[in-house]
Amino acid sequence: MTDDELAAADRYEVDDYHRTLVFLGTGVRAWVYARPTSAL
């Protein structure tokens, strides 16, 4: 994913979700969008 594509995804997800870098069990890094627990 390019920086521009990531920025476009950030704009699409608005403020309801926050992007977080996670490490999968395989060791691969991945970006995920999750709702903050304070919003539940």
Q: What is the pLDDT of residues 1-40, one digit of tens each?
A: 899 998 998 888 877 888 999 999 999 999 999 988 765 5
**Residue whose entry in the numeric block shows the structure tokens 């390019």:** 2
What pLDDT, on a 0 to 100 scale, did the predictor assign at position 22? 95
What pLDDT, on a 0 to 100 scale, did the predictor assign at position 39? 54
- Cα(14)–Cα(24) distance, rounded to whole angstroms? 25
What pLDDT, on a 0 to 100 scale, did the predictor assign at position 8? 92
- Cα(21)–Cα(24) distance, rounded to whole angstroms? 10
